[in-house]
Amino acid sequence: VHKSPLHAARLSYRPRTPPLLRGCFQVVEGEPTSAESDVDVIRSLFPVLFGQPTVSLVPNRGTPVTMGNVLRVGFVLSGGPASGGHNVISGLWDHLVERNMDSKVFGFIDGPSGICTGTYTEMTSELINAFRNQGGFHMVGSGRTKISTPEQFAAARATAEKLQLDGLVVIGGDDSNTNAMLLAENFAANGLKTRVIGCPKTIDGDLRNQHVEMSFGFDTATKVYSELTGNLGLDAISAKKTYHFVRLMGRSASHITLEVALQTHPNLTLIGEEVQAKKQTLAQCVTAMVELILERAALGKNYGLIILPEGVIEFMPDVCALIQQLNDILAAGSVSFDEVVVKLDAESRNLFLLLPRTFAEQLMMDRDPHGNVQVSKIESERLFIEMVTNELAKRKSAGEEVPPFSPVAHFLGYEGRASLPSNFDCNLCYSLGNVAAALIESGKTGYIATASNLTSPPEQWKCGGFPLTMMMNIERRKGKNVPVIKKALVVLEEMAFKIFAEQRDSWRLTEDYRCPGPIQYAADANDITITLASEEKA
Ligand code: FBP
């Protein structure tokens, strides 16, 4: 990749981390753990590793850092890119190689499939140095392969044995960390020495709970999207003729949209979890948009900014019921549009046939390897534009006066996942890489590496590990009940949503747009997201 001046400058950024990671520390065990829910089923699925204690890294003051063991550790980047991933790798490398220069680190190529095929690159200091503080996942590539069949597990074991791996670090989201746990259990049950540690990655911000305060990538992605959304607000008030409809990435949870709303103050924001709580149907969401357009038009404003999360359709009770039926129908084998229509119940069939055909067909697209609807490929911003246009036309033909409506559709997704990471993500990821190495060194397996106390400066962060099983519940995927890490959705009682709910009415008919600007020029490059900062106020 060609180096821009900024790219080159970021290579020399020195990530800030808790000092204990550079000194001598010990890994201390806490209380034994259970599961998020469905405890007996989860215990029966992970008989070897279920119930392990939490662990924390605590300083061992006065003790010198001693030479570490020679360790052989593999890593895999799994799922969608998220800024900072390369710093997990540099953190892992620095920790292992500084403690013993004979340690080896192997990067599996193109995601979990690389583990099964045994395709890897051995890390060198030149390679690591070229990727410090850089965006993307292109050092070794990523992928969404789910390791699930007995043959895949056997292949993964063969690779771990051939490379004599002491550890494997899985850098991924909720589904990838679920996979990490399945690998940890499988390796342990088969007597392998390879310990498996997960690192919480995803721009979606939904791999979060009381132990994982924030996944990496969210900070950078929301800063990139906020810059662009803020710019669209300024475009709307400059040209005074356009409604910008912005769909934001974030497969299920609306954390990204909530943070972008807090940063930019749009006229209308849909939050999926609120839509669900209020049981708002697709038609009701369209009506809310039409009302906004009419009220603003009465003030002479035929322009505005509307933002929505890509997953919002799955929260609408009517669309959700339709998707669930589609999931079951499609899990049984591929079928044509007309065959689907006859298999749906009456209510879902009516809705399906009411939808614009392109959108209905997008709902039928293949699920991802983990059984998720690929909402990033479903153009719900265009669906809303089409339905709002139709509703305005309907009102016009009924004799109502309607304003001109000139919408422009935007999707902010992929451009936020591979950006140069913010300082926060550089620091968090570098710390996580160190913690993962420390957990492997201390013999832990089936854990997620964490840094917490993240609203404080990095020097005050706390580090540790939590058993992946404690975050699991049973969910229905691809027509089957399977153990997965519970996704954290937006909670309406949480401070971030409360701050938004208090302010949003004042943004409706005004143009209080806020333009946070690019990460690199932010007034304080060390600012954290409002989502994270709000936790301090809670
Ligand atoms: P991860 O959960 O793997 O981090 O990916 C999240 C995400 O970026 C979602 O926001 C989005 O819906 C999805 O990936 C897109 O997937 P793909 O890259 O396969 O199109």
250 CB within 6 A, ligand 1 = yes
- Asked if pLDDT for residue 373 goes beyond 80, the answer is no
Q: What is the pLDDT of residue 407?
A: 98
Q: Measure the CA–CA gap between 76 and 106, rounded to whole angstroms.
A: 9
The reply to whether 204 belongs to the active site is yes
Mind listing the pLDDT tens digit for each residue in 299-352?
Answer: 999 999 999 999 999 999 999 999 989 888 888 887 888 999 999 999 999 999
Mind listing the pLDDT tens digit for each residue in 403-422?
Answer: 999 999 999 999 999 999 99
Q: What burial class does residue 6 get, using C-beta atoms within 10 Å of its C-beta: 0-12 exposed, 13-18 middle, 19+ buried?
A: exposed
523 pLDDT band, cuts 50/70/90, is: low
What is the pTM for the complete model shown? 0.94
Encoded tokens for 316: 């609408």
Choose the catalytic residue: 94, 166, 204, 318.
204
| Of 493 and 536, the one with more pLDDT | 493
**Mean residue pLDDT across the chain:** 94
229 CB within 6 A, ligand 1 = no
Non-local CB neighbours of 160 within 8 Å, separated by 6+ positions: 74, 115, 168, 187, 192, 194
399 pLDDT band, cuts 50/70/90, is: very high
Q: Which 8-state DSSP code applies to residue 124?
A: -
β-strands 462-467, 447-452 pairing? antiparallel
Question: Where do we find the tokens 């829910």?
Answer: 37
Interface ipTM: 0.97
Spacing, Cα 65 to ligand 1 middle (Å): 40
Q: Measure the CA–CA gap between 267 and 512, rounded to whole angstroms.
A: 9
Q: Measure the CA–CA gap between 319 and 317, rounded to whole angstroms.
A: 6
Q: What burial class does residue 119 get, using C-beta atoms within 10 Å of its C-beta: 0-12 exposed, 13-18 middle, 19+ buried?
A: middle
Are residues 21 and 435 in contact, defined by beta-carbon separation less than 8 angstroms?
Answer: yes
Non-local CB neighbours of 408 within 8 Å, separated by 6+ positions: 242, 243, 244, 245
Q: Where are the alpha helices (DSSP H) in 278-379?
A: 282-298, 312-315, 317-331, 337-343, 346-354, 357-363
Strand partners, 484: 473
CA angle 375, 380, 385 (to 5 degrees): 170
Ligand 1 probe mutation, 78, 170, 177, 251, most atoms within 8 A of CB: 251
Q: Which backbone phi and psi does 33 adopt, to 5 degrees?
A: -125, 170
CA 147 to chain centre: 20
Q: Measure the CA–CA gap between 470 and 227, rounded to whole angstroms.
A: 37
203 CB within 6 A, ligand 1 = yes
- Asked if pLDDT for residue 125 goes beyond 90, the answer is yes
Q: Is 392 helix (H, G, I), strand (E, B) or coil?
A: helix
Taking the CA of residue 203 as reference, the ligand 1 atom at the shortest distance is 4
Residue (of 455, 471, 467) closest to 530 by Cα position: 455
Mind listing the pLDDT tens digit for each residue in 460-481?
Answer: 999 999 999 999 999 987 778 8
79 CB within 6 A, ligand 1 = yes
Ligand 1, atom 4, lies closest to the CA of 202
Ligand 1 probe mutation, 144, 203, 487, most atoms within 8 A of CB: 203
β-strands 167-172, 407-412 pairing? unpaired
β-strands 407-412, 243-248 pairing? parallel
